[in-house]
Structure 1
Amino acid sequence: MVTRNVFIARNHALVKKALKIRCHPDLEHRFVVGLRSLLRRGAHAGAMVLLLVFLVFARALGGQTGGIRGVVVSLGPDGQPLYLAGAKVTVRLESPGGWSLATFSNDQGEFSFIDLKEGTYTVTAELSGFKPVTQSVSLKAGAVAEIRIELELAPVTGEVTVTPEPEGIDRTESSPTGAVKERTLQDAPLVNERFQDALPLLPGVVRGPDGLINIKGARTSQSGYLVNSANVTDPVTGQFAINLPIDAIQDVQVLSSPYAAEYGRFTGAVTTIATRPSGDRWAFKIQNILPRARRRSGKTVGIEAATPRLFLGGPLIKNRLTLAQSFEYRFVRTKVESLPPLQNDTVLESFDSFSHFNLQLTPNHNLTVTFSVYPQKNQFVNLNTFNPEPVTPNFKQRGFNLAFLERAVFSNGSLLESMFSVKQYDADVFPNIEEPMTLFPERNFGGFFNRQDRDSFRYQWFELYHFPVKEWHGQHNVKIGVDIGYSTYTGRIASNTVRVLREDRTLAEQIDFVGQTHIERNNAEYSAFIQDKWLVTPKLTFDVGLRYERDGVAEDNNLAPRVGFVFVPWRAGHTAIRGGFGVFFDKIPLNVATFDQLQNRVVTRFARDGVTVVDSPRFFLNLVDRAEIKNPYSLAWSLEVDREVTRKLLFRFGYQQREGRREHLVEPLAGPGSSGTLLLLSGGRSRYREFQFTARYKLGERSDLFASYVRSRATGDLNTFDLHFGNFPAPIIRPNQRSRLPFDAPNRFLFWGDIGLPADITASPVLEVRNGFPFSIVDEELNFIGRRNRAGRFPTFASLDLQVTKGLKIPFRGKKYTFRAGLKVFNILNRFNPRDVQNNIGSPNFGGFFNGVSRTFRGKFVFEF
């Protein structure tokens, strides 16, 4: 015991001397007693780590003097100040290598920064729903500067402008976050000019082989999508189900495993979309008014694309009511180069309208109303080398989304956000020809086997209350909220015969479908949450929250605790360490809830002669395992280090891991005689692990460069429900396996930039290099050979894209109007990046890759006035 006491005393004194701090005697006594107890269990190394952590935090909590203090207010209807609690206030030293600190205003709107040296500082105050304000403060040695910051609600003075991404690192957000700003949406080379095209610019986000976006190793249906806080996923499939003109979007954020408890009903990530309000002056923007000719075999054959867009916005009633309106019409033919000319185009036609109204009821009371419609037709969906036009499905969607968002600031500084939305989403899937679908090694033929006619509604009510900031061992910014939803689904799903032929055209298998086709189900969802952003010191912040969820399908009470932290270890503020752990429960799509209402399969297998039945017609009954469907959930944790090397150069190192549980999958089981079961289980698993390195370099006010490398692994069960019963179901169901997920890309390097050049020229290059996606091998009867997704990978994908635009001023009737013209080039290097592989060993073309996209040129024209 004497030896251990000497060890404690010596090391405690040494570390104190090294760090030059003073600890409170009572704290020192308690710490030494605890350390002795730990050493009794033999944890010498752990004791030293705990000792160092204690002393670092003691230094962070140590006494400081001098600085800047002030108050954050907003003027009420009578002109009297309303003190705003919970405003984020950041102070930055304006000098080479200048550092920054952040805090939150208390319930009297007060804030303070102490131990600041002489110099010039910028102080920025931000609060949800208000326009940020920045002030400059000159501080003399030993002085305390007092300031007052007045905030105004954002819609009053919101301008339709593009602002550069803020400099520096976030010192209060614990969740891994990626953002796509309005400037990127306008400048980046986006092939379809949709915001989804910009998401792969973020590390860990890839477009999978099915064309859908996969975020951090999660399938599309496992992620959440919010537009101005409203859930815009399809209640039937769980996928993103709204089209927005890109001009209507202000910014997009991707939150992978957010530790804020207000986000729920997902296991992958949440994508939040903020739409663009109007300013106090009328503005118009027109672009893409010229159609693009369709060139085939050196001849012009009709129109390949016409995608005009219009944005207009301005005040309807000055300082009270504004409108931002976006329209977009799209007619696009997309060529599949491995099919014969004039038989190789998918066709998309859509019309999207988004209206954004802002009504300023009082200076502290605002109402936002948004309304969107998004009819769309897709012909020859999933057209590829092995599925020509007749065998592909068509798709139609129609619907609307109406949302009301009210924000009110009260005299005590609290904020209440209320949202109500109604969403209709109807979808039809139907074949091009009414013939049995025939699967053949060389190329499939016949008609698509599945027909769907779905009608759905979702009603959502959301309340979020921000309490005034409370002081107790730091500052507490507490939120509570409730989220109630109700969804309905009615429709008809019918399937036609599917035939599997061998290479010699003998029949190997036939699948018929029997039973009713009518589908009907509804679901009520309830959520409540509480979360606290606890600013212990300007250097240490915790996010602590608890979320409760329940729905009418599983009828389980689910609790999801979450905790995150941000620690700024040094006063200069150039380094931030963030991380956390959370539990996330997913939604149950209504197509999962109606599994037992779907048609049943009758499967017949034939001998090599194609006539002799070797397995009598086997009836597969759709059955839910243990008669219950559970909510999938995931366990996720992350750790990131941000290092601001200079004000222009930032590095990020991060690790994330997500473990999925109770995921929905289907398993075919043969029973005695001619019976069988198609079992729906809530037993699927998945795992995603990611190491990320990202660098950002700011060349200037209009120029940013980004580079990232991601090393990841995505594995899980492959017989997922959405693969076989989604919008475009796969007809063949084989036994489940756990292996690489279809969108697994272990190594991915990404470089892109937004570079402002002289003469108002903007250049935006994008370079992506990654591993090809995995694939499986099948025999002539479409049985998997070996482990699935372990037969090999597509060739390494590499593509360099570029968009260059130039701004011009065109005089007209005494005024000058802005015109931007430019060029987009995709796959500049003309590299062969195949999208199809012949994986059937019965084909003489086995192992061949097909369907690459050659170098492509597109023009860009934008008029603003």
Structure 2
Amino acid sequence: MRCRIVYFVLLLAGVAPAAPPTAVLSGKVVDENGVAVAGARIQVRRVPEGAAAADSEPGGKFELTLEPGEVELRVEKTGFFLFQEPHLSLHAGDNALTITLNHLQDVADSVNVTYAPPVIDPKQTTETKELTNVEILEVPFPAAQDIRRALPLLPGVVLDAAGREHVNGGTSGQTSYTLNGFNLADPYTGRLEARLNIDAVQTVEVKSSRFAADTGRGSAGSVELKTDMGDDHWRFAATNFFPGLDSQQGLHINKWTPRVNVSGPLRKGRVWLDNAFESFYHVDTISGVPLPNQTSGLALSNLSRVQINLTASNIVTASLLVNYGDDRLHGLSFLDPVETTVNQRSNLFHGSLHDLQFFRGGSLLEAGFAETHGFFRSSPQGTLPFVITPYGDRGNYFADQTRNTRRAQGFLNFSFRKYRAFGSHQLKVGVDAEHVDLDQITQRHEYDLVGPARNALRTIQFRGSPALSKGDTNAAAYLIDRWSPAESLLVEAGLRSDQDTALGRGLLSPRLSAAYAPRWLRGTKAAAGYGIFYDVVTLDVLSRPYDQGTYSQFFSPSGAVSSVLATSFVMPPNRLEFPRHQAFSFSLERELLFGIYGKAGYVLRRGTRQLGFTRHALDDQLAYLLQNSRRDRYEAFELTARRTFAHHFEWSASYTRSSARSNAVVDYAVDSPLLGPQAAGPYSWDTPNRVLVWGWAPILTGRLPHLFRRMIGETYLAGLGEYHTGFPFNTVDEFGLLAGPPNSRRFPAYYDLNLHLERRFHVLQYLWAWRVGVNNVTNSLNPNEVNNNISSPQFLAFGRGQARAVAVRLRFLGKK
């Protein structure tokens, strides 16, 4: 009773009991070069009270209010090693801390650290799929020297029969490709044509839905490549520096893929260098082709990057990527003998300058500029007449093309410090602009289509100027607000405005998404979003109306001219509109039993006003008019399970059910003899069912005799298994006319199983990794070419894809 009276007297006197002391844990998360790491999950655990968590802001800042005492600190982010501090003492008041996260890498000084398990980020609304450097190097995917072949390790990404990548059911031009934040897509095709040393790639991040308004135009998603930077230790790594030999048709080098990485400090703590070089020389023997049946090629790539920390808050990075390619007898197949092939030569120069300025309080200013120059030359083997027969092609290819492209890009964005208004807000504004140019000369000569008896059916000639030039400028501005009204809920709203000189006025594209991770359902997150997206238009599409037209003569069985047809590609009299997509997606993530991370997702994209060519016939004239007439639809449901175990091993399994269709799937082109009405059907990369499993695990030696344990040592098994429905394809008749509905037939189902063994060993204190394995263990046909001429006795004859092959790799990982 006396205590209550004293407490009441104190209140009357305006004196309140002292509040319990609190500890404020604040600081910044950075990488090994002092660059802020956004989106890192900071977890503080104390037994038995529970845990508290926060996420780092764009400037790397974070803050948590706790009770003083000893806690366990855990910081994780996909693509980085796990940071753990089991005994961190917090005193009352401010506790400042700078946390350094190291990027995942497979070098000698990383073998005893722990990889971060799959992370459920409650503050991430974007549907993001990521490959780390370790996953790219460990999973035995085909053509493992090409980073583009790693993309299908992610659900929702497929390579079609021609080897072109497709994200989220979209065309290649509906995906944006960036290298360290700068546009790397080919301005002409819209595809990822550049080569990179895969050892230098830190992460490949695919954003397939619910991506924010700062992501460049591309309704299907974005592929973001991020590469290494040196640190305060000089490092040297080399891979496959010994060539591979083949005894077919005499002993010769058939594969040589040396890769060399050098990185280190030019000035410790301030200036770092990273240089990644690769060379790919190959001689391929094509089965089913009479001698000579070998193609050859050389590809060189070098990426140089320098980072300068002018101050702790001002970081400048300069990069230069150089590519060179030379392919001989490109296109050799069972339908295309040596004389029909072309020699291709290309080069690429991509330079960029990037500046980060961090401000007190967590604000961030980012600016960048990049210049890209590309060259491509395709030349035939001679000037013999080119003939398309029901048995394949004969003679020398009819087109000799030289193409030059240029792109200049600049961007500026600012992320504001967090402020509170009915929760916390994180604002970001930015602008992005680029200009592209094309100069192209294509010398074409006439070619013929003949029947089974080599009787003349059709002759195609070209008219118009062989030279064309085309340019385009586009710009965008955007605003993003990341609003967290409660700890378990994040709502991201964005608005983007795009303008294009070829498409006219700018349009607004609103985007809204949310992520909910309730505490009462620990380890679970639900996310959903809706947005409007506009596509970039490639120079390939924009330039066709300025290219040549064709003039065809059709012959009767007697050899007389029965009809003529002139075709041309035409721009519409009225201005084109932006291709538009609406997308809705939903996903559910949860930590399951035994450390398994499970995810289910659904996405629906509907495209309207898509650019396509429609036929307009008048007597002996046929015009392909570029219009906003195409409508696309993509729908997919995905299930994924992943697990990291034994510190640095991992497996992943996924199933995707999808449909990619359009009301206009016939792709008319100047160099294609295809004629026929535009029609609906599946796209040529439609894969209704796809199963993908990959991973690597140690070979258990616990119960083996000591001698065998020593022999096996640090050996592990890596595997990749994939099945998907065969891709669709067209059928044509002997005149080149479309036979039946477009893409009405399919290749056989695709099966692939790759198994590799890798052994790590030490020689003179240096760590090495030796790998040997078999690709396509079951020797499945997996065809990528077909005789689609219904008049041919060889109709539906398939050309085999990659046969069973032995793969060998030797890596030097550095000093242990």
The TM-score normalised by the length of structure 2 is: 0.88
Alignment of 1:395-434 (within 5 A): 395-434=344-383
User: Alignment partner of 2:384: what SS?
Assistant: coil
Stretch of structure 1 that moved more, 777-786 or 738-747:
777-786
Give deviations 1:770-806, integer Å, cap 9, x for gaps.
111123332222322221112x322221110022211
Query: Matched residues in 2 for 1:747 and 1:87: separation?
Result: 33
User: Alignment partner of 1:571: what SS?
Assistant: helix
Give deviations 1:785-842, integer Å, cap 9, x for gaps.
221112x32222111002221111111xxxx111111113101122222223333222
Give deviations 1:441-479, integer Å, cap 9, x for gaps.
112112222222111211111112110011111111111
Give deviations 1:240-283, integer Å, cap 9, x for gaps.
23211112211110111342111122121200011101121111
Alignment of 1:542-557 (within 5 A): 542-557=491-506
Give deviations 1:528-582, integer Å, cap 9, x for gaps.
1111121222210111111111111112212111111111134353110012111
Query: Matched residues in 2 for 1:696 and 1:731: separation?
Result: 47
Query: Matched residues in 1 for 2:102 and 2:133: separation?
Result: 17
Query: Matched residues in 1 for 2:60 and 2:309: separation?
Result: 25
User: Alignment partner of 1:594: what SS?
Assistant: helix
Is residue 753 of structure 2 the alignment partner of residue 809 of structure 1? no
Query: Matched residues in 2 for 1:620 and 1:132: separation?
Result: 61
Shift of residue 514, structure 1, vs aligned partner: 0.8
Alignment match, 1:770: 724
Shift of residue 381, structure 1, vs aligned partner: 2.7
Match of 1:709 among 655, 667, 672: 655
Query: Matched residues in 1 for 2:797 and 2:615: separation?
Result: 31
Residues 174 and 564 in structure 1, CA contact (< 8 A), matched pair in contact too: yes
Alignment of 1:632-651 (within 5 A): 632-646=579-593, 648-651=595-598
Residues 153 and 364 in structure 1, CA contact (< 8 A), matched pair in contact too: no
Match of 2:280 among 330, 337, 340: 330
Alignment match, 2:575: 628
Cα distance change on mapping 1:757 and 1:748 into 2, 3 Å: same
Amino acid of the structure 2 residue aligned with 1:749: V
Residues 105 and 111 in structure 1, CA contact (< 8 A), matched pair in contact too: no
Amino acid of the structure 1 residue aligned with 2:96: R
Residues 385 and 850 in structure 1, CA contact (< 8 A), matched pair in contact too: yes
Query: Matched residues in 1 for 2:613 and 2:299: separation?
Result: 34
Residues 99 and 574 in structure 1, CA contact (< 8 A), matched pair in contact too: no
Amino acid of the structure 1 residue aligned with 2:761: L
Match of 1:746 among 670, 684, 688: 688
User: Alignment partner of 1:122: what SS?
Assistant: strand
User: Alignment partner of 1:444: what SS?
Assistant: strand
Amino acid of the structure 2 residue aligned with 1:411: R
Alignment match, 1:275: 227
Alignment match, 2:669: 724
User: Alignment partner of 1:556: what SS?
Assistant: strand
User: Alignment partner of 1:614: what SS?
Assistant: strand
Give deviations 1:364-403, integer Å, cap 9, x for gaps.
1111111111011122333322122222333221121111
Is residue 265 of structure 2 the alignment partner of residue 320 of structure 1? no
User: Alignment partner of 2:520: what SS?
Assistant: coil
Query: Matched residues in 1 for 2:477 and 2:813: separation?
Result: 45
Is residue 25 of structure 2 the alignment partner of residue 70 of structure 1? yes
Alignment of 1:423-462 (within 5 A): 423-462=372-411
Query: Matched residues in 2 for 1:583 and 1:182: separation?
Result: 33
User: Alignment partner of 2:545: what SS?
Assistant: helix
User: Alignment partner of 2:150: what SS?
Assistant: helix
Structure 1, unpaired ranges of 5+: 1-64, 76-81
Query: Matched residues in 2 for 1:681 and 1:99: separation?
Result: 57
Alignment match, 2:129: 178
Cα distance change on mapping 1:839 and 1:92 into 2, 3 Å: farther
Stretch of structure 1 that moved more, 850-859 or 711-720:
711-720
Is residue 577 of structure 2 the alignment partner of residue 653 of structure 1? no
Give deviations 1:213-257, integer Å, cap 9, x for gaps.
111111222211000110011212222232111122111101113
Amino acid of the structure 1 residue aligned with 2:199: D
User: Alignment partner of 2:540: what SS?
Assistant: helix
Query: Matched residues in 2 for 1:579 and 1:94: separation?
Result: 33
Query: Matched residues in 1 for 2:716 and 2:200: separation?
Result: 21
Alignment match, 1:294: 246
Cα distance change on mapping 1:436 and 1:737 into 2, 3 Å: farther
Match of 1:149 among 71, 94, 97: 97
Cα distance change on mapping 1:643 and 1:379 into 2, 3 Å: same
Residues 133 and 149 in structure 1, CA contact (< 8 A), matched pair in contact too: no
Give deviations 1:38-92, integer Å, cap 9, x for gaps.
xxxxxxxxxxxxxxxxxxxxxxxxxxx99974222599xxxxxx9x998755326
Alignment match, 1:122: 73
Residues 69 and 110 in structure 1, CA contact (< 8 A), matched pair in contact too: no
Is residue 260 of structure 2 the alignment partner of residue 307 of structure 1? no
Shift of residue 757, structure 1, vs aligned partner: 4.3
Query: Matched residues in 2 for 1:608 and 1:267: separation?
Result: 49
User: Alignment partner of 1:779: what SS?
Assistant: coil
Shift of residue 94, structure 1, vs aligned partner: 7.8
Cα distance change on mapping 1:221 and 1:432 into 2, 3 Å: farther
Shift of residue 165, structure 1, vs aligned partner: 4.4
Alignment match, 2:6: none
Amino acid of the structure 1 residue aligned with 2:290: P
Alignment match, 1:233: 185
Residues 139 and 145 in structure 1, CA contact (< 8 A), matched pair in contact too: no
Amino acid of the structure 2 residue aligned with 1:713: S
Alignment match, 2:708: none
Query: Matched residues in 1 for 2:209 and 2:23: separation?
Result: 35
Amino acid of the structure 2 residue aligned with 1:615: S
Stretch of structure 1 that moved more, 855-864 or 621-630:
621-630
Match of 1:376 among 325, 329, 332: 325
Cα distance change on mapping 1:106 and 1:520 into 2, 3 Å: closer
Alignment match, 2:562: 614
Residues 652 and 695 in structure 2, CA contact (< 8 A), matched pair in contact too: yes
Shift of residue 660, structure 1, vs aligned partner: 2.0
Amino acid of the structure 1 residue aligned with 2:25: G
Query: Matched residues in 2 for 1:187 and 1:493: separation?
Result: 43
The TM-score normalised by the length of structure 1 is: 0.84
Alignment match, 1:856: 805
Query: Matched residues in 2 for 1:631 and 1:179: separation?
Result: 30
Query: Matched residues in 2 for 1:240 and 1:202: separation?
Result: 16
Is residue 168 of structure 2 the alignment partner of residue 216 of structure 1? yes
Moved >6 Å (runs of 4+): 65-68, 84-87, 94-100, 105-108, 116-119, 125-128, 130-133, 137-140, 143-146, 152-155, 157-160
Amino acid of the structure 1 residue aligned with 2:177: Y
Is residue 609 of structure 2 the alignment partner of residue 662 of structure 1? yes
Is residue 681 of structure 2 the alignment partner of residue 735 of structure 1? no
Residues 675 and 736 in structure 2, CA contact (< 8 A), matched pair in contact too: no
User: Alignment partner of 2:148: what SS?
Assistant: helix
Query: Matched residues in 2 for 1:596 and 1:851: separation?
Result: 36
User: Alignment partner of 2:233: what SS?
Assistant: coil
Alignment of 1:121-140 (within 5 A): 121-124=72-75, 135-136=85-86
Structure 2, unpaired ranges of 5+: 1-19, 701-712
Identity %: 25
Alignment of 1:511-590 (within 5 A): 511-571=460-520, 573-590=522-539
Cα distance change on mapping 1:864 and 1:85 into 2, 3 Å: closer
Is residue 441 of structure 2 the alignment partner of residue 492 of structure 1? yes
Shift of residue 93, structure 1, vs aligned partner: 4.4
Query: Matched residues in 2 for 1:300 and 1:161: separation?
Result: 42
Shift of residue 351, structure 1, vs aligned partner: 1.1
Shift of residue 731, structure 1, vs aligned partner: 3.8
Q: How many residues align?
A: 774
User: Alignment partner of 1:221: what SS?
Assistant: helix
Is residue 151 of structure 2 the alignment partner of residue 199 of structure 1? yes
Query: Matched residues in 2 for 1:466 and 1:516: separation?
Result: 49
Amino acid of the structure 1 residue aligned with 2:270: R
